[in-house]
């Protein structure tokens, strides 16, 4: 069985690690990675291949940044060429980025079955590019690998119920379980940044709905700067946010702004944080994996079970004061114990199912 896996953005390299390792050990499975080049800075791409031992991509399209249509369109044209050449049994995509959509559409048009990992997630906000990408991808997929029962219900409500839907757990949890101890043992990030376990807030911001709305970005940065007057705040800054904050002339005050960090340092920063304040999808879940209270600076989340279980709280960033108050109030908060995202064996299950062929 030949799988062509399309990846392009930071969270997809991390998600891809679990299946790439499982595929290497499975007889009769060949996985080829295609990197679209959506993310290209070394600290947004190469670092994850190195740290997570992900095989080098067989194809690198080098497409880079651009408006949605141009970026997705270029990917679509180039992925089609690779598919015609490789004729894989499956085209596999993760999540909801433009790389995901391009891969799914290219394959569906060539009648190559699409496997979508992290299917069935919904924010019910179609102004988000991610919501458009994930809905379209789900509807052209032959295998839908979902992390939770909530995702099954979302698919069912759109007429996507049946043997093509598989609840397998979350591949990010697979990766977290294998890397958590390594991060604790090997990362020196806390020492390098001069922070103590339990003594700081970790934040990430990159969603268009925050970075592209000046009042929201100002409220988030201003709120974190207020927090930093009382508790250190570490902010590994996504290049998108760095660019837009600079254009807006925002003052980061006492926030410790760093470049994006590698996965091991990120996991260590998450494990030892007092609070995580983010708009990232992956970081919300990782906060839960490591038992750290999370404040999600968005109007809604796809990962509703985190809010329901009490580990996460949604905060619309209306003012700096609101952000500050919510972040500081989250200290010490805990939620219900449980295992919301499977048992860390999602990748193996996905391979088992793919080996049976499309239903
Ligand atoms: C993309 C995904 C988003 C995901 C995020 C993960 C889409 C529509 N969005 O958002 O769902 O949560 O990745 O991080 O696919 N840039 C660099 N260097 C890089 C990459 C990006 O400087 O290596 C800058 C460029 O100015 C670029 C901007 O960041 O225009 C945005 O990059 P892009 O890949 O378009 O979207 P993300 O915001 O990263
Ligand atoms: N991440 C990282 N370094 C950083 C920020 C995030 O390694 O500086 C990791 C994080 O641990 C998680 C993933 O990147 O595994 C989340 O990606 P991101 O927030 O970019 O995208 P999203 O999950 O929102 O799509």
Low-confidence ranges of the chain (pLDDT < 50): none
User: Rounded to the nearest 10 degrees, how much is the dihedral formed by the CA atoms of 216, 295, 271, 243?
Assistant: -10
Å from CA of 286 to ligand 2 middle: 9
2-170+342-356: CATH, from 3.40.50.2000, 3.30.450.20, 3.40.50.450, 3.40.190.10: 3.40.50.2000
Whole-angstrom distance, CA of residue 106 vs CA of residue 213: 32
Residue 337 CA: distances (Å) to CA of 35, 286, 291, 332, 334: 37, 14, 9, 15, 9
Å from CA of 27 to ligand 2 middle: 31
Identify which of 44, 279, 280 to mutate to test ligand 2's pocket (most ligand atoms within 8 A of the CB): 280
Whole-angstrom distance, CA of residue 237 vs CA of residue 17: 23
Identify which of 204, 210, 278 to mutate to test ligand 2's pocket (most ligand atoms within 8 A of the CB): 204
Which H or E run contains 105?
helix 98-109
Predicted TM-score (pTM) of this structure: 0.98
Rg (CA), the chain: 20
Whole-angstrom distance, CA of residue 85 vs CA of residue 247: 43
How is 258-280 classified by DSSP, letter by letter? E----HHHHHHHHHT-SEEEE--
CATH 3.40.50.2000 domain locations along the chain: 2-170+342-356, 182-330
* Eight-state DSSP code of residue 53: T
Å from CA of 10 to ligand 2 middle: 6
Cβ neighbours for 160, distance < 8 A, ≥ 6 positions apart? 120, 138, 139, 144
Whole-angstrom distance, CA of residue 170 vs CA of residue 344: 7
Strands (E) across 65-161 are located at 90-94, 114-117, 143-146
Q: Is 242 in the pocket of ligand 1 (CB under 6 A)?
A: no
Provide the CATH topology of domain 182-330. Rossmann fold (3.40.50)
Interior angle at CA 271, CA 348 and CA 198, nearest 5: 165
pLDDT at res. 168: 98
Q: Is 11 in the pocket of ligand 1 (CB under 6 A)?
A: yes
Crossing angle of helices 239-248 and 214-228, in 10° steps, is 100
Which H or E run contains 186?
helix 171-186
pLDDT at res. 359: 86
pLDDT at res. 80: 98
Query: For ligand 2, what atom is nearest to the CA of residue 207?
Result: 24
């Amino acid at each position: 069985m030949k799988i062509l896996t399309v990846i392009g953005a930071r969270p997809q390299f991390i998600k891809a690690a679990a299946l790439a390792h499982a595929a290497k050990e499975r007889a009769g499975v060949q996985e080829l990675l295609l990197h679209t080049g959506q993310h290209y800075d070394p600290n947004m791409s190469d670092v994850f291949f190195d740290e997570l031992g992900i095989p080098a991509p067989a194809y690198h399209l080098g497409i880079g940044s651009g408006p949605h249509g141009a970026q997705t369109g270029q990917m679509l044209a180039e992925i089609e060429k690779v598919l015609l050449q490789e004729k894989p049994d499956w085209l596999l995509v993760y999540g909801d980025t433009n790389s995901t959509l391009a891969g799914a559409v290219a394959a569906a048009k060539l009648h190559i079955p699409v496997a979508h990992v992290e299917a069935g997630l919904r924010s019910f906000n179609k102004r988000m590019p991610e919501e458009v990408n994930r809905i379209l991808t789900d509807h052209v997929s032959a295998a839908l690998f979902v992390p939770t029962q909530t995702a099954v219900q979302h698919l069912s409500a759109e007429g996507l119920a049946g043997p093509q839907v598989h609840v397998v757990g979350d591949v990010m949890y697979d990766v977290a379980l294998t890397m958590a101890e390594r991060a604790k043992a090997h990362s020196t990030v806390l020492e390098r940044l001069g922070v103590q376990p339990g003594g700081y807030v970790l934040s990430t911001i990159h969603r268009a709905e925050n970075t592209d709305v000046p009042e929201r970005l100002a409220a988030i940065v201003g709120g974190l700067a207020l927090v930093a007057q009382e508790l250190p705040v570490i902010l590994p800054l996504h290049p998108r946010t760095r660019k837009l904050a600079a254009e807006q002339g925002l003052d980061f005050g006492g926030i410790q702004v760093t470049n994006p960090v590698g996965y091991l340092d990120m996991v260590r920063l998450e494990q030892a944080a007092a609070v995580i304040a983010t708009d990232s999808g992956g970081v919300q879940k990782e906060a839960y994996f490591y038992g750290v209270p999370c404040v999600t600076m968005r109007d809604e989340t796809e990962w509703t079970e985190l809010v329901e279980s009490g580990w996460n709280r949604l905060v619309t960033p209306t003012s700096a004061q609101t952000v500050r108050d919510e972040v500081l109030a989250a200290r010490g908060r805990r939620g219900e114990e449980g295992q919301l995202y499977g048992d860390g064996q999602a990748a193996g299950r996905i391979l088992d199912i793919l080996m049976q062929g499309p239903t």
